[in-house]
Structure 1
Amino acid sequence: MFKSVIAGITALSLTFATAMPAQANGFDRDDVGKIIIGIAALAALNAAIENNRRDRQQPETPQHPTSGNNQQSLPQSCMERIDTRYGEHRMLMRRCLQRNDIRVRDLPNRCEVRLFTDDGPRNGFDPACLRQAGYRIDRRH
């Protein structure tokens, strides 16, 4: 959006520079006010056009795990119970998933968690969140 606003301002300034005769006094207050109002109107018009374009575009449908890829089921062996000062939590461990050929970058970001333990931080994925996203934890892996 800012590129098109800048392009409009540049075009407008070139138009004024070439269409106006040379003045010894320059612009007066009325001329400057008109230019500023014109620029603001162009910016508002451009924002409305961009907003209209965004509304007309089809929203991208996220890839759902049931679309035929092998990430639908996740290995039970990667599930660990992690002790923290707030109690025990279950988590699918990131490295284990990677070792089992699961592309963790394709898992939902909102399900990624980091738990802080006495041994340091542990990175993984919340199993309940993954289930809600359509994944299942398979005991056969």
Structure 2
Amino acid sequence: MYRKFIATIAALSVAITAFGARDAAADEKEVLRTLAAIAGVAIVGKMIYDNNKERKERETVTRRRAAPVYEAPRYYPTVSERPRLRPYVDRRPQPRRTARTSPKREVRPLPERVDRKLLPQQCFRSFNGEDGKVMMFGEPCLEKNYAQVDRLPNYCAKRVKTADGARYGYDARCLRDSGYSLARR
């Protein structure tokens, strides 16, 4: 850091000693030239010293400003990733039905439970809209084939502009994230 500054001081001392070794009867012009040279060397040395000082200050400032710490994105489970509840199974033993306990009664099977979260497969459509291909469940088809249309989430409702006009329905990804799935029948 101080090498150039020390070199400048050494050059000045050599110049001064050379100046002192001259004859006393030297010209005034030569004295002025020597003093100007000494001043020039001192100015150049000072400029070099200040430049190095500024560079070191800039380096320390950039070292202090560390790169931002990378924070990994946080992923939150969607509705479909939540643990699903098992279907209810009645584990109590059924009473024995014999001719004596129920002579004229026949045992009928329970009606099949309909899952409200299963959407009809025939309503799943893809439309080419202004923003590209859109996968959705058409609203008119759902009204005909799905009894709980009024329970579908409103935030999944969508309007898509196509070449044939506007299409209304529910976004497939949004419904999937809300826990709905496609019936595989």
- TM-score by length of structure 2 reads 0.37
Question: Which structure shows the higher strand fraction?
Answer: 1
| Larger radius of gyration between Structure 1 and Structure 2 | 2
| Greater relative contact order (Cα < 8 A, sep 6+) | 1
> Which structure carries more helix by proportion?
1
TM-score (structure 1 length as normaliser): 0.48
